[in-house]
Amino acid sequence: MYTYTDFDEAFVRERCKQFRGQVERRLDGSLTEEEFRPLRLMNGLYLQLHAYMLRIAVPYGTLRADQMRQFAMIADKWDKGYGHFTTRQNLQLNWPKLKDIPDILDALADVQMHAIQTSGNTIRNVTVDHFAGASADEFEDPRPTAELIRQWSTDHPEFQFLPRKFKIAVTGASTDRAVIRAHDIGLEMAEKDGQPGYRVLVGGGLGRTPMIGQEIRDFLPKADLLPYLEAIVSTYNVLGRRDNKYKARIKITVFENGIDTYRTLTEEEFQRTRAKFSGVDQEILADIETQFALPPLKDSDASALEAAIAVDPMLGRWVARNTATHKHDTHAIVTISLKEHGKTPGDATSAQMRVMADLAEKYGYNELRVSHEQNIILPHVAKSDLPAVFTALSKAGLATANAGLTSDIIACPGMDYCALATARAIPVAEKIALRVKELDLEDEIGLMKIKISGCINACGHHHVGHIGILGLDRAGVENYQITLGGDGTEHAAIGQRAGPGFAYDEVVPAVERLLKAYLEQRDSAEETFLDAYRRLGADPFKEALYGEASQTAA
């Protein structure tokens, strides 16, 4: 894992010092809110519905045990003893006080962490596949690339005031677990004629105008990455609209100008940017890569696991659901579910954070990941250690065996916390999870991605949910639109709106009808909801939602 250089350390400390001064000046009245707001946003500090919110960066979702433990300490000392892991692989604290923020940032810096560029119209935390460096289907670890991008984009003088926020995701595996097609820039590690590089996508995004990213370069040699990214973002910085906030993202710029024009302009700019790069970035990258080497894995006897499963079916169920195939068959990737039925998706108490940190230290080579699906990952666990990990997680309420199932729901904070929200998202997720548990249908349903957003900005990724739920304010009442058939993987698709929305009390029964319609109509247990939707089309699902009359009315 990446360790700060002296430069990183000095930079983060200097930023802490600056922000401490800015907070002091805000409190003594020398800065107005108008002047202070952009400064606090640059450091991840929002003012939400009930309190301030601090969004802490977890670069590319990777962290060490001591960093997770520090989150727990901060949550206990300056917040209410819990934190919320987000779809940008970050951590949000929901109740900090303004005067404490400088101390929190210092405490983060003590473990090489920060909240820089987690907000504002800048390049945000780069996200990657949460199984990076571990998954059997990966051909190259995307994290060194993400770290290089972090270094390049942090405080980049040209990109501090972009037309809008800018999000980059990277994957190095055949299965896209990083939703790269819904990002401003999506990078797919690739190889051509034996040379490493990237396939580059641009102009994806969710929000009020969801779009799937388009290919701007089928192959970019590895050494050209930063100059090419600089060319893309520079082109956007000049061409992107600043007259209308809702048309300011690069997806609109690409859409309005066309991908071919955007490519031509980028390639022209690239000729200039490439000349400015001396190659020192590739030297830095080579050094970064050594820091992400797979830790030396211990020997593991899988027969011990089999014996334990034979006497403990709960362990067997958890291993089947919550572990994924590691590139070394002696090990497994563990998904720690933060989706206990009826609980807030993505939340962990400080006690749970400490348990996860301890397990990472004891069994996980000191590595943890935050997934964009709001779970925590232990990327390398010896199979023989899985029973011990399961036992410890069970005691902490962290062993829910539901990874990838119906209750493994993404939900944004919604109107329970967010000042922008138009409806609640969390209680809808809680109620759906409790209902499927009550019906005991999750295992039968199998793979299911339900994603819920509490406003049109789509932080809950509802557009790419197999079932997407969007909470809106309709004439002063919460109302929920359902979209169907969304997909965030390499087969990315934007979900289609099923029809009129549902009241708060109606949305869980509506989802239940969808699930039952799927079970009735699938051709086999192997056919997932999404496959069935693609085969059957929307009609049978619309009928389940609205009754037969809807078919003629629609």
Partner 1 sequence: MARKFTPKVLTANDLLEGDVIYMTADGTWVRAHEQAELIEDETIAEMRMLTAQGQQDRIVGPYLADATMGPNGPEPTHFREVFRTKGPSNYFMGKQADSANAE
52: contact with partner 1 by CB under 8 A: yes
Q: Which is nearer to partner 1, 176 or 408 (CB)?
A: 408
Q: Rounded to whole angstroms, how far apart are CA atoms 8 and 476?
A: 48
Q: Least separation, in Å, of the C-beta of 52 and partner 1?
A: 4
Q: Which is nearer to partner 1, 300 or 422 (CB)?
A: 422
- The two three-digit tokens of residue 517, written as one number: 């319609």
At 487 the three-state DSSP class reads strand
473: contact with partner 1 by CB under 8 A: yes
State the helix-helix crossing angle for 225-239 and 250-257, rounded to 10 degrees.
80
**CB distance 259 to 211 below 8 Å:** no
Q: Which is nearer to partner 1, 188 or 347 (CB)?
A: 347
Q: Rounded to whole angstroms, how far apart are CA atoms 385 and 306?
A: 12
- Beta-bridge partner residues of 185: 168, 202
- Which of 4, 13, 49, 500 binds partner 1 (CB under 8 A)? It is 49
344: contact with partner 1 by CB under 8 A: yes
Tell me which residues in 72-101 interact with partner 1 (CB under 8 A). Answer: 80, 94-99
- Beta-bridge partner residues of 47: 52
Segment interacting with partner 1 (CB under 8 A) among 200-208, 270-278, 402-410, 414-422? 414-422
417: contact with partner 1 by CB under 8 A: yes
Element (H, E) at 6: helix 6-27
Q: Least separation, in Å, of the C-beta of 20 and partner 1?
A: 15
Q: Which is nearer to partner 1, 322 or 349 (CB)?
A: 349
Q: Which is nearer to partner 1, 430 or 442 (CB)?
A: 430
19: contact with partner 1 by CB under 8 A: no
Q: Could you tell me the CA-to-CA distances from 194 to 71, 190, 216, 284 in Å, in that order?
A: 42, 10, 21, 22
Q: Rounded to whole angstroms, how far apart are CA atoms 473 and 454?
A: 9
Residue written as token pair 């299965």: 175
**CB distance 165 to 191 below 8 Å:** no
Q: Rounded to whole angstroms, how far apart are CA atoms 90 and 467?
A: 24
Segment interacting with partner 1 (CB under 8 A) among 144-152, 175-183, 187-195, 425-433? 425-433
Residue written as token pair 């009315």: 553
41: contact with partner 1 by CB under 8 A: no
Site size toward partner 1, by CB under 8 A: 32
Q: Least separation, in Å, of the C-beta of 457 and partner 1?
A: 16
Rounded to 5°, the CA angle 28-73-372 comes to: 95
416: contact with partner 1 by CB under 8 A: yes
- Which of 10, 27, 286, 525 binds partner 1 (CB under 8 A)? It is 27
351: contact with partner 1 by CB under 8 A: no
279: contact with partner 1 by CB under 8 A: no
**Which residues contact residue 252 at a Cβ distance below 8 angstroms, ignoring those fewer than 6 apart?**
209, 240, 241
Residues at the contact surface with partner 1, assessed by CB under 8 A: 26-29, 32-33, 47-52, 80, 94-99, 344, 347, 415-417, 424, 426-427, 430, 473, 476-478
